[in-house]
A and B are shown apart, each in its own frame.
Chain A
Amino acid sequence: MAIGHRFLCIPILITLTAFPAFAQQAPATDPKIDQLEKKLDELLRQAAEIRQQLDSIKGSQPEAVPDLTKVEVPPAAATAATSTETPAKETPPPALTDVQTVENVPNPGASKVFNPDVSVIGNFFGKAGQKNTTEFGEERPSMQLEEAEVAFEAFVDPYAKAKFFLAAGPNGLEVEEGYANFIALPKDFTAKVGKMKATFGKANTWHTHVRPWVDQPLVIHNFFGDEQLADNGISVSRDIANPYNVFIEATGEVFSGSAERVFERVSDNDLFYNGHLKLFRELNENQNVELGTSYARGTLGEAGSSSYGGVDVTYRWKPLQQGLYRGFIGRFEGMINDNPLASRNLKGFYASGDYQLGQRWFAGARIDAADRLTDGAIAKDRGVSATLTFWPSEFSQLRTQLRRTKYGFLDKPVNELLLQLQFAIGAHGAHTF
């Protein structure tokens, strides 16, 4: 009976709450309803108090300390890391009567991941001072975009990477280098096949933006030309294990025998060959030294065979902790050429030092000496130069080079101020050391 009465009261309560105007007009209420209302009010008040207490407790408590023993890696990574292990208990497949369609979100950009890394490096050149027809010819303007190097790089397959460096300049577009680099050969071999710069010394292998000077050293310019010694061929290299903690790498190369002014084949069999041996050792974590020796031999047209020998030494100091701000690189490279057109061996060298002044500033100096074969006679060229380089960022650099060159057969030295702005866009792969 009591329960039935309570049930009867609830709709009445709701009605009274919903229609207060009607309630006000209602006759005197039942005392039991009053009692229920009071109880309800009391309960609501108690609930509010409890909520307040809870809020205050939450506010004063420090944030819960995470239990690091319960940390897990996201499932995707965990699966990837243990993909070859036996999978954990799998959920049973659903009954085929319950199968639904799957909504695959298309990713139109996904196929682009196979596109090669592409970059363009602009090389803007400027020159002031005395005219230098010996080195730059008559037609070189005082300023020009001398080269835009376009580079493409990507994996061909699991065994090889392809690298293309196209040089666009006032004389057109040419393949500066373009080769497949086989990096996964057996017996610790690597190989390059295509057009490439010969691994002869150091400066011959550098692209313009890697060079620490605006110009080429005289010995490179006089012996190989500003395009350096490059040809179509095959290069194979292997490191040589040894107990002395020295990195030793031997490289053997064979080229088609066509490198302007350096090697000129008469028949198809007139290949030119190049060998390079490199030794690298860390003196301590801040200093290291690299030694290299090179030898190239081939045919120089009808004149006969020509050979080049070279040694290179590089000393580097870069304190690891201050590496962003300080560093020094000293370089020496000497070459000798047994040229059939010359009455004696041609010789040349450069020695340089580059010091990092600050995070973005570098200063350097270089001395040059190189013989130059001109119409069968040998001119002795000598030069000194100083450089100052500013890097606004990793992707651009501004360089000035003041140089004084005494060319053989010229009475007066030539003084010049060379300027260079290089700027890169895109993803240009890091270079080897």
Chain B
Amino acid sequence: MKRMLIIGALASLLIGANAQAADKLKVVTSIQDFASLTKEVGGDRVDVTSIAKGYQDPHFVEPKPSYLLLLRDADLLEVVGLELEIGWLPPLLDQSRNNRIRPGQAGYLDLSNGVSILDKPSSNVNRSMGDVHPLGNPHYWLDPVNAVRIAIQIQQKLAQLRPADAPYFAQRLNDFKLRINEANKRWLATMAPYRGAKIVTYHNSWPNFAKYFGLDVVGYVEPKPGVPPSPSHTFDLIQMMKANKVKAILMEPYFDAKTPQSIAERTGSTLVVMYPSVGGAKSGTDDYISLFNLNLSNLVKALR
């Protein structure tokens, strides 16, 4: 009898473990940063995959059918919103054959709803202004406060989809908050001497980052969002950078370094490859905190 009980208990444990493994929430995110934050909160109760890689421009992702295989089985889709994914996500969603993750359903989470958004146009925009985002700048995850807001929204959504695991998600969120809070103190202390420093960025991807760390973005390598650098704009930018003593040009790894490198050489500034997303570099950007550690370390070297 006792032996049977032990076998029964072991079997139920095994079955329970298997059921739990199979019962992981399948989460698909549009960018790797959200995947990282979802792992922070969801731990081993979630199975997370990102569509765009961290070293890829998230504006231009090919809507490959292989992504349909991910979306078809997903319980939750997390998106940046603000039309960042407008060029590739809608056809994928239409073909996903998964009603749970369509906008308006419980399995669709637009994380722009609960964060601070910058660059919301105050007047009508049109395409003569370049590839502008009419709903505001979508690169909002590059602000640690927004990262916590994103994590909170993820925790709330995971708890909604898996109420039984809500305490687990809440605990992991608190752990993450404590860790990022400690890291944030370091980050701000590191950047304190450079508050007010003037910088130039390739694309307008860094407004949240710059505002948070008190950097002054005085120009862009692109003459207008999405428009490649032109000789006349580059000439004007060089003059302006010299006049303002700009020390650093920030550029994502997926842009061509030729023009910004040339500008840096002519102005005595430094071209800094900044990783806009988790996974942007081969190493050192495995999660959100390490992403900021690496970016700030690289930036400070240029601003010194």
Contacts and interface: CB of A to CB of B under 8 A. Distances in A.
Interface of A: 62-63, 65-69, 71-74, 76-78, 80-82, 84-85, 161, 181, 183-184, 188-190, 239, 245, 247, 249, 278, 280-282, 285, 288, 290, 316, 318, 320-325, 359-360, 393-395, 425, 429-433
B144 A68 contact: yes
Contact of B153 (A66, A73, A288, A425): A73
A430 B149 contact: no
Nearest 7 pairs of A and B residues by beta carbon: A77-B114, A73-B114, A247-B65, A81-B156, A71-B148, A280-B65, A68-B181
Contacts of B178: 69
B227 A393 contact: yes
Interface residues of B, number: 60
B152 A73 contact: yes
A316 B156 CA distance: 40
A393 B63 CA distance: 20
Contact of B254 (A63, A78, A321): A321
B228 A188 contact: no
A288 B102 CA distance: 27
B114 A78 contact: yes
B80 interface: no
A153 B148 CA distance: 36
A68 B226 contact: no
Nearest to A188: B97
A431 B95 CA distance: 11
Contacts of B266: none
A249 B114 CA distance: 38
Given A65-B185, A67-B181, A85-B160, A183 B64 contact: no
B127 interface: yes
Main SS at interface, chain B? helix
A68 B177 contact: yes
14 contacts: A76-B113, A78-B152, A81-B157, A183-B95, A188-B72, A245-B66, A245-B69, A282-B64, A288-B64, A320-B56, A323-B60, A393-B127, A395-B127, A430-B90
Contacts of A65: 184-185, 188
B99 to A, nearest CB: 5
Given A239-B97, A393-B131, A431-B91, A69 B181 contact: yes
B88 interface: yes
B284 interface: no
B60 A77 contact: no
A239 B192 contact: no
B180 interface: yes
A190 B96 CA distance: 9
Contacts of B265: none
A84 to B, nearest CB: 6
Contacts of B127: 393, 395, 425
B23 interface: no
Contacts of A360: 228
A430 B148 contact: no
B296 interface: no
B86 A430 contact: yes
B63 A430 contact: yes
A188 B65 CA distance: 15
Interface string B49-89: 00001011100101111101100100000000000001110
Contact of B55 (A74, A321, A393, A425): A321
